[in-house]
Amino acid sequence: MARDGKQTDIEPRGTNGRLERLPTADLEANDEFLTTFRAWANGPLTQAANARAREIMTARGIDPEAEMPLARAFEPFADDAVIQARHHVWLHAQNLMWRNLRRELHDNYDGYMAEMEAADASGPGTLELNPNLAIPDYATHEIHLQPGGYVGDPFAGHLYHYGTNNFYTGRNNQDELHRRYASSVPAPADKTVRRILDQGCGCGQMSVALKERFPNAEVWGIDVSGPMVRYAHMRAVDLGVDVRFAQRLAEDCKFPDGHFDIVTSYILHHEVTAEASRGITREAHRVLRAGGIYYPIDINTAGTRGMVAGAGPFNQVRNWMSHRWTHERWLFEYNSFDHATETRRVGFEVTEDGSSSGMGGVRGNILGVKRA
């Protein structure tokens, strides 16, 4: 795409539907291999590790569904080759993926930065950056091992977009997941949808999907990360979708009281502290109008525990692996956080819809309606 008469859009190999292809055949081949490798690690290899764990626990007289102190939970599996192979493959495939993507972006820094700069003032949609925004500590961790985390690399949005495509093993390359979730967001009872807020919008896929579902609504996507919203805006411009992106805090978003008809988010709450999660929910209540819908989409918001659902020593170990080695920093706080109760506490009428997407591990969403 040319902007101001200059060819600034980096698409040397074109697009695959909504997704810009990676710029070299070598990088694309590496990414496809690692995506397939991850699918195998998450599927057959993890299934084999689960089966092996049950064999070990049964042989030792351990109830596979009963929790135990975490230090003891590791001991039965410490020397098993299948289980250790699963852990190492899962972890190092992720590291390789990040390394390859980041090398491409930083080796070609000037070109990618010029592309974002050219898009900053372009439309449709708008971009608001706040470089003096005080970044909360919770946002400074390298969640998922993403280099620099969400705020510490100028190409955080690029990295997050292609990195999460790898996490979803190719099932979201056309934003299928976000479009499915956007279609599940309930409208208010009076069917009036003029303004929508997507809290913690990341690289903007949910915000864009919401605008496509509600084309007459004003859709805002906000995120603590400047690089995230810059990338989100650039991508929305390329897709021709009118979204307003802004670098703002979800817990202090600066919008007027009662401004929105719908407030939603996608996998935000498990990546912040419990304190921040409460603040984000309070802010959602403040900026919603009476009868407005609050619909936070996350992992087991309705109460089923863990990144890995279920109890038992092996699931405890796998949750700890996610917490420790892929920097799911706030996972254990999230596991003990009663989202439905906290949402009621700020004044919402809450139902737990028990929905299951079948994708991305999101199960059992809650729905809040602001009382009149």
Question: 102, 153 in Cβ contact below 8 A?
Answer: yes
Say whether both 152 and 237 belong to one domain. Answer: yes
Q: pLDDT tens for residues 125-169?
A: 999 999 999 999 999 999 999 999 999 999 999 999 999 999 999
Say whether both 88 and 225 belong to one domain. Answer: no
Predicted confidence (pLDDT) at residue 231 exceeds the cutoff of 90: yes
Say whether both 163 and 299 belong to one domain. Answer: yes
Say whether both 149 and 290 belong to one domain. Answer: yes
Q: Name the domain boundary from 71, 97, 123.
A: 123
Burial class of residue 61 (count of CB atoms within 10 Å of its CB; 0-12, 13-18, 19+): exposed
Instruction: Using pLDDT thresholds of 50, 70 and 90, give the confidence band for residue 335.
Output: confident
Provide the b/e sequence for 321-360 (b: ≥16 CB within 10 Å): bbbeebbbbbbbbbbebebbebbeebebebeeeebeeeeb
The pLDDT of residue 359 is 41
Q: pLDDT tens for residues 23-74?
A: 999 999 999 999 999 999 999 999 999 999 999 999 999 999 998 998 899 9
Say whether both 164 and 296 belong to one domain. Answer: yes
128 in any annotated domain: no
Which CATH number characterizes residue 351's domain? 3.40.50.150
**Average pLDDT of the chain, as a whole number:** 91
Share of residues in the chain with pLDDT > 90 (%)? 78
Candidates 263, 207, 215; CA nearest to 235 is 207
Predicted confidence (pLDDT) at residue 269 exceeds the cutoff of 60: yes
CA 133 to chain centre: 21
183 in any annotated domain: yes
Whats the size of the chain, residue-wise? 372
Please give the residue range of the domain that contains residue 346.
137-303+338-370
343 in any annotated domain: yes
Q: pLDDT tens for residues 67-100?
A: 899 889 999 999 999 999 999 999 999 999 999 9
Q: Name the domain boundary from 123, 154, 175.
A: 123
Say whether both 159 and 12 belong to one domain. Answer: no
Q: Name the domain boundary from 101, 123, 145.
A: 123
Say whether both 342 and 217 belong to one domain. Answer: yes
How many structural domains compose the chain? 2
Rounded to an integer, what distance in angstroms lies between the CA atom of residue 273 and that of residue 304? Answer: 18
The pLDDT of residue 309 is 61
The pLDDT of residue 156 is 98
Say whether both 115 and 147 belong to one domain. Answer: no
Candidates 127, 130, 121; CA nearest to 252 is 130
